[in-house]
Chain A
C-alpha cells in the first residue's frame, strides 16, 4: 500500500480528530466496572469512621451468614499475606514511614481506611452485608492540623516517635549553583527589599470522573488484574513486590480509563484487597468504589504551608529566595508521596535568574487521607508561591508586575540557561509569549479600566492577574531519578509491528486515559513511516501486550514515549533498507527513504513500505543474514527534562460588597515546543486551566476537628461546572525543545500550573487599594469579603502598606507564626 494522496502533507501539526472518540461518544466503552466474568463476586469495603483509633473488636459473624456472602476478610485474616503498601521514593536515607497494610490490622490511621472486606454474589449483597460487620474502636488522639503535627503535639503513628517523615534541602551554595541565600537576605534587610510571606496550598482531591474500579481474575495460570489506573506497569511490579507473587504470573490491564490527573498514579490498597479476595475465593472479584469512598480513600493532592523569603535590591532585582515548606503526607506514604513536594524544589526559581536559593522541606504525617501526585505535582505549589511573590515585589518597587518579571527573567538569547536550582533550560522565549499575551488580552486597556473603576470607587473592582510560569516535563532522566533516590527509571518503550497486510501496530508503554495518544501516536508514525494515519493502530495499557513501559504522568508521554516511538520507527526504516536494496537490486548505501517509499538514489526506481514489509514477511527470496521482519523496538531514556513555559493573564471582577469573584477574560500564550495536534493541546490547556482556577476559587478537602472529611461528596467538594467557567483565548509561541527529535515539551499540566496564581494575583490586584495583600485559597466570597473587611484600609487610600513587618500578629491574611489554629477547618481568621 502506498501513502494516500488526500492525507495532510504532514500529520504532525494537523488538528486531527481523535480516533478514540467513536467508541466514547457511542457508549461502546470498556470501563473496568463494565466487566462481567463468569462466577464473578463483588466486594464492599468496611471503612473506619475514625481518624485514629485502635480496633478492639471485630465481629463478622452476621455478615458472613448474610445471603450470598462468600467471605469476609479482616486484617487479622490477611496479615501474613498482605505485606505492606510500598513507597517508591524514599527521599532521604533516614526517611521514616509506618507499615501500610492494605487492611488495617489493629489500628486505623485515617477516616476511610479499610478494616474489612465483604465478598458476595452481587454488589448490593456485599454492601448490605458490610453494614453488618461490627467493629469496636477505641479512639486515639488524632494529628490533624499540619503545623501542630509538625510540632509533634499528637503523634499520627505513636510507634514512629515523631510525625516528621523526612527533611530535604537544596542549597545553591552547597550545590555550587549559586550563592548563600542568608547572605543575600541579610544584605537586603540592610539596603534592599525583603518580602516575607506565608502561603497555604490547600488540600485538593484529583476527582477524576471515573471512580476507581478493579477486577481480579484468578482463574487460569496468570492472575489478570483490570484496573482503572494510570500505571498498569507499576501495578504489576508492586503487586508482585507487595504480595510476593512472581511478576511473570501477573497480567495487568488498564482498559478505558476515565481520567486520572495523578489520582490514579498509585498502587492502591483496594487493588491488593481485590487480589487477596480473588485468591481466597478462587473466583473473579470486582470492586468499584462509590464517589464518597473515592473522595476519602483515593489519594489527595497539594497541602503545604509555604514560608517564603525573597530578597531583592531596591530596584527590584531579586538576589535570593528561601523556601521553607511543611508538606502534609497524610497518614501513609503512597507510591511517590514523599517526592511530590521535592519536585517543586527545582521550580521555585521559575523563569528567573536568582543568584541564590535555598529550598527546605519537612514532610509530616497526619491522620488524614494520604497525599500524592495531583496534576502538576509540586510544580503548581512552587509556581503559585513565586508568582505571588513577584507581584508583591512589584508593589513594593512600585512598578507593573510584568515589568518586575522582565527585569528578572532569563532573556531569550541566554538559553540554554542553567538555573540556580541546577536545571538547564534548553529553550524558551518569555518576551515573545508575554508580548503576545498582552496583545490578545488588551492589557493596557484593562489597566485603564481598572484605574477608572478605582477612581470612581466602583463596588465591583477589576483585577489583573499575571502568571509567567515554566515547568519541568518529561519525567525523567533515569540518572536524575537515581540521584533523587527514586526507585525506578524514567525511560519509555515503544514497539512497531509492520503487519503483512500493510497495517501498523504501535505498542506504547505509556498508558493514556484521556490524552489522545491513539491519535497523536498515529500522526507521528504516519509522518515517520509514510503510512496512512488510518492504518496505524495504537495498543497500550496491557502488560502482556505492552510488556515494557513506565506509564503516563508528569507530562512525560510525548516527550519520552513519543521519542521512543521515533527511535523505533527509525529502526523500522533501517531494517527495511537491505530488503529494499535486494528487491531493487541496488546497494544498501544507495537506498533512500521518504514519504513511505524506499528508492534508489538518483533513479525513479522504488518500492513502497508495504511492498518491502510483504517481501520480509514472505521471506521467499531474502539473502542470508537479513532478518525477515521490519518490526522494531526502542527504549529511550531522556537526556534531560523539557521546560514548557507561558504567560497567562486573567481579568477578574471582584464585588467588594459580596466578595464574589467573577472571571471576565483569560488569555494563555504557551510555549509547549513543537505541537503535534493543536486541537488536543488546546483541550489539555482548557482542562488544566480550569483545574487551576478551581484551586484558586472553589475546591478544598476540608476536615473537621475529629478528622472527618467534611467535603466528602460532590455536594461539598465543589468541582467547577459549565456555569462557573468561561471560554478561553489560547495561543502559542514555539521554541522547539532540543532534548527530543519531535521538539515537543509537554502540555498535560501546564494549565493547572499556570492558572492558580493568575487568578489569585487578579483578586489581590483588584483589592490592593483596600490594603489586601493576600486571600487564602480557595478564594470563596466569604474569604474575599473578610479579607476586605479585615484589611481595614479605606477604599480610596493608595497602596502604602510595606512588605514589612512580616508575620506579625493581626496582619491581614497572615497566620500567627506557628499557630495554624484555624487551618484544619479551612476558615480564615
Chain B
C-alpha cells in the first residue's frame, strides 16, 4: 500500500492505496465520486475523463499513486455556487446528451478543448473530442454545445431546431 495525498474537487484526501489502483477506481470506490464512470478498459471511450492540474486525462490510464500531490477536478466539481458550469449549461440547452453516460467525460474534455483553443473551428472541436465516444447523440449536438460556449458561429444548416418551414401539415 502506498500513501497518497490528493485534492479532489477542492477537498484534500490522504489515503493508503494499492499501487495498481487506477485513479478512476480511487475516485469511484474510495471517494464515492461516482459521477465519473468507466466505459471501456482500453482507454478508448473517455467516459472517465477528469482534469489533473487543469488538463484532461483519462482517469483509467492514470494510477492513483500518480495523482499524489496533484489536483483533480471531476464533473462533480465544476458547478459553482449552485450555477452550472457554462459547458454543463450548454450541454443541457443544446440537447447534447441522451443517456448521459458519456456526458461527464465529454464535458470535461470539451472544457479542455476550449482551454487549449478558445475559438475552434467545427473540425477542431471534432478532433478535440475524438477520444471520447458517445453512442446516443451522433455528436451533432455535442459539437453545437461546444460551439455555443466558444461563442463560435454555428453553421446555419446544422441547426437543431426545425427550419421555419418544417412541420407543415401535409395532406395525408
In the complex, B37 has a CB within 8 A of chain A:
yes
Which 5 pairs, one residue from A and one from B, show the smallest C-beta to C-beta distance?
A: A27-B35, A258-B101, A24-B100, A514-B99, A690-B138
In the complex, A34 has a CB within 8 A of chain B:
yes
In the complex, B56 has a CB within 8 A of chain A:
no
In the complex, A819 has a CB within 8 A of chain B:
no
In the complex, A211 has a CB within 8 A of chain B:
yes
Tell me if A686 and B103 are in contact (CB < 8 A): no
Tell me if B101 and A31 are in contact (CB < 8 A): yes
Residue of A291, A428, A682 touching B172 (CB-CB under 8 A): A428
Report the nearest B residue to A671, measured CB to CB: B170
Residue of B37, B135, B169 ringed by the most chain A CB atoms within 10 A: B135
Tell me if B129 and A722 are in contact (CB < 8 A): yes
**What 1/0 flags go to B154-172 for Cβ under 8 Å of A?**
0101101111011111111
In the complex, A2 has a CB within 8 A of chain B:
no
Tell me if B100 and A256 are in contact (CB < 8 A): yes
Cβ–Cβ < 8 Å partners of B93 in chain A: 17
Residue of A25, A415, A678, A714 ringed by the most chain B CB atoms within 10 A: A25
**What 1/0 flags go to A716-732 for Cβ under 8 Å of B?**
00011111010111111
Of A524-532, A556-564, A733-741, the one with at least 4 CB within 8 A of chain B? A733-741
Cβ–Cβ < 8 Å partners of B47 in chain A: 209
Residues of B within 8 A of A (CB): 18, 28, 33-42, 44-45, 47, 74-76, 79, 84, 88, 91-93, 95, 97-104, 107, 122, 125-127, 129-144, 155, 157-158, 160-163, 165-172
In the complex, A680 has a CB within 8 A of chain B:
yes
Tell me if A731 and B95 are in contact (CB < 8 A): no
Residue of A21, A427, A671, A725 ringed by the most chain B CB atoms within 10 A: A21
Please, could you name 15 A-B residue pairs with CB atoms under 8 Å apart, sorted by A? A22-B92, A209-B39, A209-B135, A259-B98, A514-B100, A682-B162, A686-B138, A687-B136, A714-B133, A723-B126, A727-B155, A728-B138, A728-B140, A731-B165, A733-B168
Report the nearest B residue to A293, measured CB to CB: B41
Residue of A261, A412, A728, A736 touching B158 (CB-CB under 8 A): A728
In the complex, A516 has a CB within 8 A of chain B:
yes
Tell me if A713 and B44 are in contact (CB < 8 A): yes
Cβ–Cβ < 8 Å partners of A124 in chain B: 18
Report the nearest A residue to B20, measured CB to CB: A124
Cβ–Cβ < 8 Å partners of B95 in chain A: 17-18, 679-680, 682-683
Tell me if A721 and B101 are in contact (CB < 8 A): no
Give the distance in Å from the alpha carbon of A684 to the alpha carbon of B138 in the complex. Answer: 9
Tell me if B103 and A25 are in contact (CB < 8 A): yes
Give the distance in Å from the alpha carbon of A515 to the alpha carbon of B141 in the complex. Answer: 15
A514 to chain B, nearest CB (A): 3
Give the distance in Å from the alpha carbon of A719 to the alpha carbon of B137 in the complex. Answer: 13
Cβ–Cβ < 8 Å partners of B41 in chain A: 290-292, 713
In the complex, A551 has a CB within 8 A of chain B:
no
Tell me if B92 and A259 are in contact (CB < 8 A): no
Using known A-B contacts A722-B125, A722-B129, A727-B140, determine if residue A26 contacts B35 with beta carbons closer than 8 Å.
yes
Cβ–Cβ < 8 Å partners of B167 in chain A: 13, 675, 678, 732, 734
Tell me if A735 and B170 are in contact (CB < 8 A): yes
Residue of A17, A513, A714, A725 touching B45 (CB-CB under 8 A): A714
A614 to chain B, nearest CB (A): 32
Cβ–Cβ < 8 Å partners of A721 in chain B: 126, 129-133, 139
Cβ–Cβ < 8 Å partners of A719 in chain B: 133, 135
Using known A-B contacts A25-B84, A25-B107, A514-B100, determine if residue A683 contacts B172 with beta carbons closer than 8 Å.
no
In the complex, A394 has a CB within 8 A of chain B:
no
B60 to chain A, nearest CB (A): 10
Give the distance in Å from the alpha carbon of A209 to the alpha carbon of B40 in the complex. Answer: 8
Tell me if A415 and B172 are in contact (CB < 8 A): yes
Report the nearest A residue to B105, measured CB to CB: A209
B39 to chain A, nearest CB (A): 5
Cβ–Cβ < 8 Å partners of B97 in chain A: 21, 24-25
Give the distance in Å from the alpha carbon of A671 to the alpha carbon of B172 in the complex. Answer: 11
In the complex, A257 has a CB within 8 A of chain B:
yes
Residue of B84, B158, B166 ringed by the most chain A CB atoms within 10 A: B166
In the complex, A456 has a CB within 8 A of chain B:
no
Tell me if B99 and A210 are in contact (CB < 8 A): yes
8 Å CB interface, A21-74 against B: 21-29, 31, 33-34
Tell me if B170 and A432 are in contact (CB < 8 A): yes
A539 to chain B, nearest CB (A): 18
Cβ–Cβ < 8 Å partners of A735 in chain B: 170-172
Using known A-B contacts A209-B133, A687-B135, determine if residue A27 contacts B45 with beta carbons closer than 8 Å.
no
B160 to chain A, nearest CB (A): 5
Using known A-B contacts A28-B35, A722-B132, A727-B122, determine if residue A210 contacts B101 with beta carbons closer than 8 Å.
yes
Give the distance in Å from the alpha carbon of A23 to the alpha carbon of B97 in the complex. Answer: 12
In the complex, A502 has a CB within 8 A of chain B:
no
Give the distance in Å from the alpha carbon of A713 to the alpha carbon of B44 in the complex. Answer: 9
Give the distance in Å from the alpha carbon of A272 to the alpha carbon of B102 in the complex. Answer: 28
Report the nearest B residue to A727, measured CB to CB: B158
Residue of B33, B92, B129 ringed by the most chain A CB atoms within 10 A: B92
In the complex, A83 has a CB within 8 A of chain B:
no
Tell me if B40 and A713 are in contact (CB < 8 A): yes
Tell me if B163 and A731 are in contact (CB < 8 A): yes
Report the nearest B residue to A684, measured CB to CB: B98
Residue of A257, A714, A732, A736 touching B162 (CB-CB under 8 A): A732
Using known A-B contacts A514-B100, A715-B42, A727-B143, determine if residue A208 contacts B135 with beta carbons closer than 8 Å.
yes
Tell me if B39 and A734 are in contact (CB < 8 A): no
Report the nearest B residue to A260, measured CB to CB: B99
B121 to chain A, nearest CB (A): 12
Cβ–Cβ < 8 Å partners of B133 in chain A: 209, 714, 719, 721
Give the distance in Å from the alpha carbon of A505 to the alpha carbon of B171 in the complex. Answer: 37
Tell me if B92 and A727 are in contact (CB < 8 A): no
A809 to chain B, nearest CB (A): 41
Cβ–Cβ < 8 Å partners of A729 in chain B: 157-158
Tell me if B172 and A29 are in contact (CB < 8 A): no
**What 1/0 flags go to A192-218 for Cβ under 8 Å of B?**
000000000000000111110000000
Give the distance in Å from the alpha carbon of A664 to the alpha carbon of B126 in the complex. Answer: 15
Report the nearest B residue to A258, measured CB to CB: B101
B14 to chain A, nearest CB (A): 21
Tell me if B88 and A31 are in contact (CB < 8 A): no
B72 to chain A, nearest CB (A): 13
Report the nearest A residue to B21, measured CB to CB: A124
8 Å CB interface, A417-454 against B: 427-429, 432, 440
Report the nearest B residue to A294, measured CB to CB: B40
Cβ–Cβ < 8 Å partners of B99 in chain A: 208-210, 257-259, 513-514
Cβ–Cβ < 8 Å partners of B144 in chain A: 727
Tell me if B42 and A427 are in contact (CB < 8 A): no
Cβ–Cβ < 8 Å partners of A732 in chain B: 162, 166-167
A271 to chain B, nearest CB (A): 19
Cβ–Cβ < 8 Å partners of A723 in chain B: 126-127, 129-130
Cβ–Cβ < 8 Å partners of B163 in chain A: 440, 731
In the complex, A154 has a CB within 8 A of chain B:
no
Report the nearest B residue to A515, measured CB to CB: B98
In the complex, A689 has a CB within 8 A of chain B:
yes
Cβ–Cβ < 8 Å partners of A500 in chain B: none
Cβ–Cβ < 8 Å partners of A257 in chain B: 99
B141 to chain A, nearest CB (A): 6
Give the distance in Å from the alpha carbon of A31 to the alpha carbon of B158 in the complex. Answer: 32
Residue of A17, A209, A440 touching B101 (CB-CB under 8 A): A209
Give the distance in Å from the alpha carbon of A354 to the alpha carbon of B168 in the complex. Answer: 30
Tell me if B172 and A427 are in contact (CB < 8 A): yes
Tell me if B160 and A679 are in contact (CB < 8 A): yes
Give the distance in Å from the alpha carbon of A720 to the alpha carbon of B45 in the complex. Answer: 11
Tell me if B172 and A429 are in contact (CB < 8 A): yes
In the complex, A315 has a CB within 8 A of chain B:
no
